[in-house]
Amino acid sequence: MKQKIGITGLAFMAASSIFSVIGFSCKTSPQMYTSSDSLIKQKVNEFIKVKLTTDLSVLSENDKKILPLFFKVGQIMDDLYWQQAWGDKQELLSGITDENLKAFVEINYGAWERLNGNKSFIDQIGAKPEGANFYPVDMTKDEFEKIADSTKTSEYTVIRRNAAGAPIVVPYNLEYNEGLKKASELLKKASDLAEDEGLKYYLKLRSEALITGNYFDSDMAWLDMKQNNIDFVVGPIETYEDALFGQKASFEAYILVKDHEWSYKLKRFATLLPVLQQSLPVEQKFKSETPGTDSDLGAYDVLFYGGDCNAGSKTIAINLPNDSRVQLAKGSRKLQLKNAMRAKFDHILVPISQQLIVPEQISNITFDAFFENTMFHEVAHGLGIKNTINGKGEVQDALKETASPIEEAKADILGLYMVTKLTEMGQLGENNLMDYYVTFLAGIFRSVRFGAASAHGKANMMRFNYFEKHGAFSYNEETGLYRVNFDAMKQAVSNLSADLIILQGNGDYDLAKNWLETKGVVPPSLQKGLDKISSAGIPRDIVFEQGETVVGL
Ligand code: ZN
């Protein structure tokens, strides 16, 4: 049965791909789509609706005239992403009568459940093609190898079949010609309206890039832009949707309003990095490198998510551009998406805390602490050590596949160490250190909620188990609640920071591997807590109400 369904789905995908290139449509009786998954309604409700707004009074009149243009372009990116991830959106949606099923299809941009291993939830559709709609569904790897055109591996081309059935390379500006032309014109108009010179230039180059397929100059201009109030991340950007080769870039759009106050704070903390580096609780030889202070870190409110970034789980922090040539020349920019973080905090982190943290420490769960822990994680990547001290070369090479989870674990714990130091230095104002600690512990529960199997999950568990062993929190068997112990937590943060920096400095691959394997496991007591969370009906993620009327334009 499954097999048969699979073939129907594949046939549909293949047909839609060919027709989108050749440009005619095939009129047959409309296909109806149904689901025998009885949990669809519940699954839709697990995505809580959140309005994307911000204070627009900080914007100029021209900025406010630009935003509607951005919304139009954002919608085009969303439509283009539908074509990439699925194919014909209207054909699918018009074949569905059940409103919940429709909503779930829209959340997932297709018939495959993104937070559940891309399992098909539509009876008539089979497994998701690995290459989404970037390649002919029936194309073999061998066929791909044999294509002579060297642009076949470009992130801005798709593979189609010509009339004779042979695979051919089609650039994005042909495949998505109509949408890209329209988007380009709108961006040009936005550029004409822009007052900030940086924004004006970026939008002009981005408008051209959508047509030429050369994004390099516009990426460079985006990093040069510093004073703008509004920002627009737009175009084909991430390559995750192409699970076949990881090459093809997906369309997406974020409309952003900069939070100058927070961005200023972030900048100021970055300047304290050299002092913080020297304060690290390790011997001098592990902290002799000079941390970079030029990291471009900003806080933003998001007004629109479209395309790739809006599919399934929502991103709350981005680091762009991806082009390594641009990164080498100018570094990258890290954007913290504040209102989206706030939504996840209110609707997910707080309810989780209420299930697992002692009542008298619930008031220590604060948004400022959550936001700052996330932000200091980013800043902390700049601290510590990048080269081993014993001739093993770069830490990243010495630690091989463990490098990334160890570096993430380091950034998490060093972020908390920085908060501790900055509080002692009087740099964090009135804020209570205990808030950061309790909120951090709650953050671990949130991260391992859907399993600790991933590298990040293991890193989180490693930290959790270390805290438990050193009494940084205590657990009450009877109530199933956790309590942070301030002094022990402070000591554990310092000691674990030291352990991780020393491990990195020694390039100790065996120790790293051993840590992740033996200490990255979920203890039974915590599993009980996680089960409690999953039966408490806490949202899995958020879904947005967004657009001009929502922001009040
Ligand atoms: Zn990180």
pLDDT band per the 50, 70, 90 thresholds, residue 534: confident
Specify the pLDDT at position 18. Answer: 37
Cα(100) to centroid(ligand 1), Å = 36
Closest CA to 441 of 411, 421, 466: 466
Specify the pLDDT at position 313. Answer: 85
Structural domain tally of the chain?
1
The amino acid occupying position 108 is: N
Decide if 128 is inside a domain. Answer: yes
Give the mean pLDDT of 490-494.
Answer: 97
Specify the pLDDT at position 364. Answer: 97
Specify the pLDDT at position 293. Answer: 62
Decide if 190 is inside a domain. Answer: no
Cα(434) to centroid(ligand 1), Å = 23
Token pair listed for 14 = 């293949």
Sign of the alpha-carbon torsion through 529, 531, 532, 534: positive
Cα(259) to centroid(ligand 1), Å = 21
Cα(443) to centroid(ligand 1), Å = 14
Give the mean pLDDT of 427-435.
Answer: 86
Specify the pLDDT at position 164. Answer: 96
Give the percent of the chain with pLDDT over 90.
Answer: 74
Cα(243) to centroid(ligand 1), Å = 23
Cα(338) to centroid(ligand 1), Å = 17
Specify the pLDDT at position 389. Answer: 96
Token pair listed for 118 = 């891309």
Specify the pLDDT at position 28. Answer: 63
Segment 213-222, tens digit of pLDDT: 999 999 999 9
Cα(456) to centroid(ligand 1), Å = 10
Decide if 141 is inside a domain. Answer: yes
Mean pLDDT of the chain, nearest integer:
90
Segment 133-172, tens digit of pLDDT: 999 999 999 999 999 999 999 999 999 999 999 999 999 9
Specify the pLDDT at position 379. Answer: 82
Specify the pLDDT at position 272. Answer: 86
Cα(418) to centroid(ligand 1), Å = 15
CA–CA gap between residue 232 and residue 187 (Å, rounded):
10
Decide if 41 is inside a domain. Answer: yes
Cα(297) to centroid(ligand 1), Å = 13
Closest CA to 78 of 391, 538, 70, 294: 70
Segment 163-203, tens digit of pLDDT: 999 999 999 999 999 999 999 999 999 999 999 999 999 99
Neighbours of ion ligand 1 (CB under 5 A): 411
H-helix or E-strand spanning residue 235: strand 230-238
Specify the pLDDT at position 294. Answer: 61
Residue 227 DSSP class = S
Out of 21-35, 154-168, 390-404, 516-530, least confident range: 21-35
Cα(103) to centroid(ligand 1), Å = 32
Decide if 26 is inside a domain. Answer: yes
Decide if 403 is inside a domain. Answer: no
Cα(357) to centroid(ligand 1), Å = 25
Cα(355) to centroid(ligand 1), Å = 27
Decide if 274 is inside a domain. Answer: no
Cα(380) to centroid(ligand 1), Å = 8
Cα(282) to centroid(ligand 1), Å = 21
Query: Does 476 score more than 90 pLDDT?
Result: yes
Specify the pLDDT at position 157. Answer: 98
Cα(319) to centroid(ligand 1), Å = 10
Cα(290) to centroid(ligand 1), Å = 19
pLDDT band per the 50, 70, 90 thresholds, residue 292: low
Cα(52) to centroid(ligand 1), Å = 25
Segment 69-85, tens digit of pLDDT: 999 999 999 999 999 99
Cα(263) to centroid(ligand 1), Å = 18
Cα(381) to centroid(ligand 1), Å = 7
Cα(134) to centroid(ligand 1), Å = 30
Higher pLDDT, 378 or 281: 281
Cβ atoms of 85 and 112 closer than 8 Å: no
Query: Does 400 score more than 60 pLDDT?
Result: yes
Which DSSP string do the residues of 305-339 spell out, in sequence order? EEEGGGSSSPPSEEEE---HHHHHHH--EEEEEHH
Name the residue range of residue 125's domain: 9-47+82-170
Cα(376) to centroid(ligand 1), Å = 10
CA atoms within 13 A on the CB side of 436: 26
Cα(342) to centroid(ligand 1), Å = 19
Cα(127) to centroid(ligand 1), Å = 32
Give the mean pLDDT of 414-428.
Answer: 91
Specify the pLDDT at position 331. Answer: 81
Give the mean pLDDT of 219-243.
Answer: 95
Specify the pLDDT at position 24. Answer: 42
Global confidence as pTM = 0.86
Give the percent of the chain with pLDDT over 70.
Answer: 94
Query: Does 295 score more than 70 pLDDT?
Result: no
CA–CA gap between residue 198 and residue 549 (Å, rounded):
28
Cα(91) to centroid(ligand 1), Å = 40
Cα(404) to centroid(ligand 1), Å = 9
Paired strand residues for 238 = 250
Residue 383 DSSP class = S
Higher pLDDT, 311 or 269: 311
The amino acid occupying position 502 is: I
CA–CA gap between residue 287 and residue 45 (Å, rounded):
49
Decide if 501 is inside a domain. Answer: no
Specify the pLDDT at position 14. Answer: 38
Token pair listed for 384 = 């510590």
Cα(110) to centroid(ligand 1), Å = 30
Cα(496) to centroid(ligand 1), Å = 17
Cβ atoms of 249 and 219 closer than 8 Å: no
Segment 10-68, tens digit of pLDDT: 333 433 443 343 334 455 678 999 999 999 999 999 999 999 999 999 999 999 999 99
Cα(378) to centroid(ligand 1), Å = 6
